[in-house]
Amino acid sequence: MLKIPMTTPLVELDGDEMTRILWAQIKEELICPFVELRTEYYDLGLPNRDATGDQVTVDAAEAIRKWGVGVKCATITPNAQRMEEYHLHQMWRSPNGTIRAILDGTTFRTPIPCPGLRAYVPTWTKPITVARHTYGDLYKDTEFRIEGPGKAELLFTGADGAVRRETVYDFEGAGVLQGCFNKDSSIEKFARSCFAYAFSVKQDLWFSAKDTIMKIYDGQFKETFQRIYDEEYREAFEANGLRYFYTLIDDAVARIIRSSGGMVWALKNYDGDVMSDMISTAFGSLAMMTSVLVSADGCFEYEAAHGTVTQHYYRHLQGEKTSTNPVATIYAWTGALRKRGELDGNAALVSFADKLDKAVMDTIADGIVTGDLAALMDGHPAIADSETFLAAIREHLEKIL
Ligand code: NAP
Ligand code: MG
């Protein structure tokens, strides 16, 4: 069989622990036998991030800017325990944080619809995509503890020296204080990427915030979304029977629960962090969730939403076979190959990505699953270890191809 050629390389970001093991197996079993795979490889495994002073993470993000499409394996975000475990020179920052800051975009997370998998919310028959703004707010805050009485003020000194000052609170005793910010330019990029994404998947876009309380801060988000919709997207949305809908976040939560799904739900940074975990859990499993970071200038980074599955890795190191779910990582690869194919006009590559997705679903429909999924399915599906599961997917893929 002739392998499918690629004209442009994908930016490949390798990672850590169990997902690094799966990464190599997915390439070897499911991609390289069928595709003349071209990648620009960056090893974001923690030992190499440490050896390069984390420069490899910055280089990988710049490469995604250059080539347009990347695929990333899960990576360790170091903490004190990891410093010891890996004898690190520094407690390197989260690679996802570094990449997000360079690409300045929006993260879209969507559950992978799967035959036989029970959603906790039975009315959700279509996936819900959470679009999370990944810049600013509480994630770039300045906060401190107040030890005793005193006046807290918000002070802004303009570039021209003009000062604006307002009292936040006259403390009569100890307490806590926090300041945070966002920028018009980032809010606009966030809004544009949400409209562009919702339009590309032909789904309604919802945005919710709390502008009744934060009239200026959240008000700025609300106005920006409305303005960009009216000026740039309304015509195209209406022509396709799509709509943009703003509502307060508490109202949105109630409506989402009662809905049948099938929308893109845009949320500010913190709201998106919390709600994406709620949505993924309600649909079943973190290992059945895709995640793509889209920059405003149209670069795409695909990854799984889960981590490096450390507990499984330690068992793997003991020589045990584990039943780690590779589906989200496979979907990260197919998402990236499909996007590369679309951008390059490579129909064979797009079709291969679709077929590999289908092979995964066919395997699960046949009742061959990993342990995490077995618990969520009716009947008694056979629990396969990761290698057996990947081999079953390959069999299905060969049949489809
Ligand atoms: P995790 O790797 O997502 O795993 C948490 C638990 O969820 C696992 O122990 C496992 O439960 C279950 N799980 C997650 N993915 C699974 C899969 N594919 N198949 C089967 N079960 C799966 O999160 P964590 O243990 O909190 O973090 C581990 C490391 O990952 C940390 O160093 C963290 O920094 C990193 N991390 C990276 C990313 C990223 O790169 N995007 C995201 C989050 C965390 P059972 O043990 O019960 O089977
Ligand atoms: Mg979170």
Residue 114 three-state SS: coil
Pocket test for ligand 1, best of 81, 99, 309, 389 (most atoms within 8 A of CB): 309
- Answer whether 112's CB lies under 8 Å from 122's CB: no
Q: Tell me the per-residue pLDDT of 106-117, one tens digit each, with 9 for 90 and over.
A: 999 998 888 788
Q: What is the pLDDT of residue 104?
A: 79
Residue 77 CA to ligand 1 center (angstroms) comes to 11
Q: Give nearest CA residue, ligand 1 atom 12.
A: 309
Residue 135 pLDDT grade (very low, low, confident, very high; cuts 50, 70, 90):
confident
**Ligand 1 neighbourhood includes 48 CB (under 6 angstroms):** no
Q: Give nearest CA residue, ligand 1 atom 4.
A: 309
Q: Which atom of ligand 1 is nearest to the CA of 94?
A: 34
**Which residues keep their CB under 5 angstroms from ion ligand 2?**
273
- If 0-12 CB within 10 Å is exposed, 13-18 middle and 19+ buried, where does residue 383 land? middle
**Ligand 1 neighbourhood includes 324 CB (under 6 angstroms):** yes
Residue 309 CA to ligand 1 center (angstroms) comes to 4
Pocket test for ligand 1, best of 306, 315, 324, 389 (most atoms within 8 A of CB): 306
Q: How far apart are CA 341 and CA 398, in angstroms?
A: 20
Q: What is the pLDDT of residue 113?
A: 81
Q: Give nearest CA residue, ligand 1 atom 10.
A: 309
Two structure tokens written together for 69 = 């499409």
C-alpha torsion 301→91→59→349, nearest 10: -30
Closest CA to 345 of 1, 8, 2, 3: 8
Ligand nearest to the backbone CA of 79: 1
Write down the residue that tokens 């975000």 correspond to. Answer: 77
Residue 232 three-state SS: helix
Q: What is the pLDDT of residue 121?
A: 85
Q: Give nearest CA residue, ligand 1 atom 38.
A: 307
**Ligand 1 neighbourhood includes 46 CB (under 6 angstroms):** no
Return the amino acid letter for 97. Answer: G
Q: Which atom of ligand 1 is nearest to the CA of 327?
A: 18
Write down the residue that tokens 């409506």 correspond to. Answer: 255
Residue 273 CA to ligand 2 center (angstroms) comes to 5
Residue 371 CA to ligand 1 center (angstroms) comes to 14
Residue 5 CA to ligand 2 center (angstroms) comes to 38
Q: Is 76 a residue whose pLDDT tops 90?
A: yes
Ligand nearest to the backbone CA of 273: 2
**Ligand 1 neighbourhood includes 25 CB (under 6 angstroms):** no
Residue 308 CA to ligand 1 center (angstroms) comes to 5
Q: What is the pLDDT of residue 170?
A: 97
Residue 132 pLDDT grade (very low, low, confident, very high; cuts 50, 70, 90):
very high
Ligand nearest to the backbone CA of 301: 1
Q: Tell me the per-residue pLDDT of 226-284, one tens digit each, with 9 for 90 and over.
A: 999 999 999 999 999 999 999 999 999 999 999 999 999 999 999 998 998 888 888 87
**Average pLDDT of the segment spanning 53-62:** 97
- Answer whether 237's CB lies under 8 Å from 229's CB: yes
> Please, what are the domains in the chain?
1-111+291-350 (3.40.718.10), 119-140+184-283 (3.40.50), 142-179 (no CATH)
Q: Give nearest CA residue, ligand 1 atom 33.
A: 76
Sheet strand arrangement including 263-267: 39-43, 10-14, 69-72, 300-304, 289-295, 105-111, 129-133, 263-267, 204-209, 244-248
Q: Tell me the per-residue pLDDT of 303-345, one tens digit each, with 9 for 90 and over.
A: 998 999 999 999 999 999 999 999 999 999 999 999 999 999 9
Two structure tokens written together for 240 = 């396709």
Residue 146 pLDDT grade (very low, low, confident, very high; cuts 50, 70, 90):
very high
**Ligand 1 neighbourhood includes 306 CB (under 6 angstroms):** yes
